[in-house]
Amino acid sequence: MTPAPEARDADFRAFALARWPRLLRTAYLLTGHHHDAEDLAQVALVKAYARWDRVMRATDPDAYVWRIMINAHRDRIRGTRVLEWLTTRFPERAGGDRVDQFLVRDVLAAALQRLPPRQRAAVVLRHVEDRTETEVAALLGTRVGTVRSRTSRGLEKLRADPTVQDLRAPTRGPEPTHQQEVTNHAASGERTGVR
């Protein structure tokens, strides 16, 4: 026998109020955004309310509602075509004009042109396009060891290039832009993680 609608609503309201902070915290950890977390928690509660009789008959009503939320999140992700990357950095920093970025790009392009073609290809594919050594070897039709040696020698030449050294010298100006950080990582031989 189902309870009266008023009693059912009161049970649900008490359940929702008691679980809301934990539900919201879990939703935030799933989505990474406060507003998306609120939406997800609300969707979970709406779906739980629609199935409230089943939720109350479950051996663990909390687990039932959490499963609803996780499934709703999975469905939300499936429908999303745009990939989101959680980051603590803003995409652009406030600052002056972008002339410095163009100058850095020109200096690096000129330094890359001074490398022998095979070393240049290995460095560009490895550190600008962020491909794996195996991918670069397949693209260049060579072995992984050859890619490693060409990349290493190319990076050594870039580090020794006086114009690149001037870029890497510490300055007392504004903070470097994200593009300059990527450029410095590529020049230092570190993987950037940017595709």
Q: What's the pLDDT tens digit per position in 3-28?
A: 678 888 999 999 999 999 989 988 88
pLDDT at 185 over 90: no
What is the maximal distance between C-alpha atoms in the chain? 84
The rounded distance, in Å, linking the Cα atoms of 133 and 138 is 9
pLDDT > 80? residue 88 = no
Q: Please, what's the b/e burial string for 20-46 (b: 16 or more CB within 10 A of its CB; e: otherwise)?
A: eeebbebbbebbeeeebbbebbbbbbe
Helix 178-188 to helix 144-160 angle (10° resolution) is: 110
Q: So what's the pLDDT on residue 29? A: 81
Q: Cα–Cα distance between 20 and 27 in angstroms, integer?
A: 10
Query: What pLDDT shows up at residue 154?
Result: 93
pLDDT tens sequence across 37-74: 999 999 999 999 999 999 999 998 988 998 898 888 88
The identity of residue 149, as a single letter, is S
> Which residue, 46, 39, 49, 38, is CA-closest to 12?
49
- Best CA proximity match to 150, nearest among 126, 132, 134: 126
Identify the weakest region by mean pLDDT among 16-30, 80-94, 134-148.
80-94
Confidence at 131, pLDDT banded by 50, 70, 90: confident
Looking at residue 124, the DSSP 8-state letter turns out to be I
What is the pLDDT averaged over residues 165-170?
71
